[in-house]
Amino acid sequence: MLDLNHIAMFVQVVRHGSFAEAGRRLGLPPNTVSRRIQELEAQLGTRLMQRSTRKLTLTSAGQAFHERCAGSVDGLVEAGQALITGSQEPSGLVRVAATADFFDFFPMEWVADFLAANPLVRVDFVLSDAKADLIADQIDVAFRGGELPDSGYVGRKLLGPRTDGLVASPAYIAARGAPATLRDLTDHDCVTAAHPSGRATWRMTGPDGVEEEVQVTGRFSGNTAQALRRAALAGLGVALLPPSMGRLDVEAGRLVPVLPQYQRTGQGLSVLYPSRKHLPLAVSAFIGVVMERLSTEETLPAAFKSWKT
């Protein structure tokens, strides 16, 4: 019969990324933690982790096992905490993965309201445009754009697709002229997401509903939408941005629309989390607040309203 203490220890090792850190938190020597994980692997008849001097990496069996048991272990811990505190109040740390420019759209006031309503909860945002590995990076909730792959995680749609448009600074248009057709963009500097080839392919839908494709190049590329916006403001070229990103700049005259009859259907927004079973109260409370706020038109910020339309 499997030792539940060994399983709980395995979850802690995965969560904290090393035997040393898990041992420190559990009050055990690292070699004791390592030995007990080896005993668990022997009982299961499979290797759960690949060990190296620099880091631990889950095997496919280890990842599957962690996904099945992590929620149950957390549920047992929460049940014990609830008995100790005499309440079902959300508590603990919620780690959230999102894009680098997430707080340019997501109101920080929502986080403040959430923390005020849940005084025993802490929130740690991991902001990067690289897609986080929910298990390896110890992520409880991730915000993702586009279609969600079949990863075994739970995904819930927050916002539908938006339409992106082309913009440039007045100074750039004055110096280089405005393109008259989509094909003209090949003769312009365009600011794009970084790509090893230095080229990007933009697929745009014209006024007749037909999708067209153009390959563009430029001297500036970046890995966040905010970087591309700022490059466009600096006159470095034509940018393809979501409406929420460029609307205020267009209204203020800092950017002007380019080929407004062409648009690109951009990515929607979903929330992703490892498992529906035994979801920690703090995590389910955070997800609930986000979904409630985004579904209420009155509380939706301007950036999200333009995305939603």
Q: Which fold has domain 89-160+268-308?
A: D-Maltodextrin-Binding Protein; domain 2 (3.40.190)
Residue 132: the pLDDT is: 74
pLDDT at 307: 39
The pLDDT value recorded for residue 298 is: 43
pLDDT for the residue numbered 267: 62
CATH class of 4-84: mainly alpha
Q: Which residue has the higher pLDDT, 237 or 82?
A: 237
Query: For residues 151, 157, 163 and 168, what is the CA-based torsion angle, rounded to 10 degrees?
Result: -70
- Topology match between the domains 4-84 and 163-265: no
Could you tell me which residue, 286 or 198, shows the higher pLDDT? Answer: 286
According to the 3-state scheme, what is the secondary structure of the chain? CCCHHHHHHHHHHHHHCCHHHHHHHHCCCHHHHHHHHHHHHHHHCCCCEEECCCCEEECHHHHHHHHHHHHHHHHHHHHHHHHHHCCCCCCEEEEEEECCCHHHCCCHHHHHHHHHHCCCEEEEEEECCCCCCCCCCCCCEEEEECCCCCCCCEEEEEECCCEEEEEECHHHHHHHCCCCCHHHHHHCEEEEECCCCCEEEEEEECCCCCEEEEEEECCCEECCHHHHHHHHHCCCCEEEECHHHHHHHHHHCCCEEECCCCEEECCCEEEEECCCCCCCHHHHHHHHHHHHHHHCHHHCCHHHHHHHC
164-222 tens-digit pLDDT: 789 999 999 999 999 999 999 999 999 998 777 778 899 888 888 888 999 999 999 98
| Mean pLDDT on 88-98 | 85
Domain boundaries, the chain: 4-84, 89-160+268-308, 163-265
Contacts of 280 (CB under 8 A, 6+ apart): 74, 75, 78, 90, 92, 94, 140
Kind of pairing between the strands at 121-127 and 92-98: parallel
Residue 306, pLDDT score:
40
**Token pair 């008259």 in the structure block, residue:** 180
State yes or no: pLDDT of 72 exceeds 80.
no
Residue 123 has what pLDDT?
93
Tokens 């100074």 -> residue: 171
Per-residue pLDDT, 61? 87
The model's confidence at residue 251, banded by pLDDT at 50, 70 and 90, is: confident
Residue 265 scores a pLDDT above 90: no
Of the candidates 246, 286, 287, the residue with the CA atom closest to the CA atom of residue 104: 246
Q: Looking at the DSSP assignment, which residues form a beta bridge with residue 109?
A: none
Q: Percentage of the chain surpassing pLDDT 90?
A: 24
pLDDT exceeding 70 applies to what percent of the chain?
79
pLDDT for 85 beyond 80? no
Tell me which amino acid residue 183 is.
R
More confident residue, 104 or 62: 62
Structure confidence at residue 237 as a pLDDT band (50, 70, 90): very high
Question: What does pLDDT average to over the chain?
Answer: 80
- Other Cβ atoms within 10 Å of 307 Cβ, number: 25
Q: How far is 141 from 50, CA to CA, in rounded Å?
A: 25
In this prediction, residue 300 carries a pLDDT of 44
Q: How far apart are CA 34 and CA 23, in angstroms?
A: 9
Q: How confident is the model at residue 83 (pLDDT cuts 50, 70, 90)?
A: low
Architecture of domain 163-265: 3-Layer(aba) Sandwich (3.40)
